[in-house]
A = this chain, B = another copy of it.
Amino acid sequence: MNNFLSLDDVSDPMAFAREAIELKKNPLADMHLGRGKMLGMVFFNSSLRTRMSVQKAAFNLGIQTMVLNVGGDLWTLETQDGAVMNGKAAEHIKEAVPVMANYCDILAVRCFPGLENRDIDSEEKILTAFATKSGKPVVNMESATLHPLQSLADLITILEHQPKPRPKVVLSWAPHIKPLPHCVSNSFSQWMNKADVEFVITHPKGLELGTKYTKGAVIEHDQRKAFEGADFIYAKNWSSYNDYGKFMDAPEWIIDAEKMAWTNQARFMHCLPVRRNVEVADDVLDGPHSIVVKQAANREFATQRVLKELLKELKH
């Protein structure tokens, strides 16, 4: 594994998730591995879970971290080839990336989509610039279209809580107050399609995700039918993919205890942050089947598994 940009970088996702679970037995066992190594964490967007869990995972492996807030602390970066830089952007990513790479052994990047132009977001200009111009292993800490660290943590969580060998996992669209990216849903779909689960996606008509991510999944527009027999309900909002970035509302899709009763006592999952009583009712989040905090905790071990793998590739 040279990078961790998407599912494609992992040869056996199920085995990878199981190895992450193994790390929990003794999280500090590999503290010597990262000695003398520096991880640069570059945030074009803010973050709580990612920021903390990646730092913690690096710490567990003895890797030092440097955090850079590009959006806040720094200037805007130009990404266009051939640009005449007489505007806001004071530095081109062509310089910024190799310069940052100078000081780091591994780079991790968070760069959200603009949600205005699907083609532009799909190009993943920033993530790609890091992967192609840094000469160092790059970790996706949530990009314009994907969030594989989240999906790996999700898979770990499912493996730890599954009531049966091939559980039914339902990704349900949930209402929000503003248009959100597709990254979490795209990645989750990709990973579930490779996992030993029965995977169903449910959402209002018109909110189809990109088929290049969901291909293989069952799409069910009737939320009730989707929920029946489910062992896991994974709630997530996303904006329109076809009418790209458009906000669509459907408040009746909120997930509450009544709907959870349709399931097979399903565990409730969400990548967080969650808007209570908009996406999900308090009775679900505060109920005994919510595993959202454990799911967030698994971000640490997902990242640790990834970093451990990348450390192997580094010359010592």
Contacts and interface: CB of A to CB of B under 8 A. Distances in A.
A282 interface: yes
Interface stretch (A121-129, A209-217, A293-301): A293-301
Contacts of A277: 82-85
B56 A95 contact: no
B103 A52 contact: yes
A64 B62 CA distance: 11
B99 A49 contact: yes
Nearest to A81: B282
A117 interface: no
Contact of A103 (B53, B64, B276, B286): B53
Contacts of A286: 94
A276 B99 contact: no
Contact of A293 (B31, B53, B84, B99): B99
28 contacts: A31-B36, A38-B59, A40-B52, A48-B99, A51-B73, A52-B100, A53-B102, A53-B103, A55-B66, A56-B103, A56-B104, A69-B73, A72-B72, A75-B273, A82-B277, A83-B276, A83-B277, A86-B275, A90-B273, A90-B275, A91-B272, A92-B274, A95-B272, A95-B274, A99-B296, A102-B293, A102-B300, A103-B300
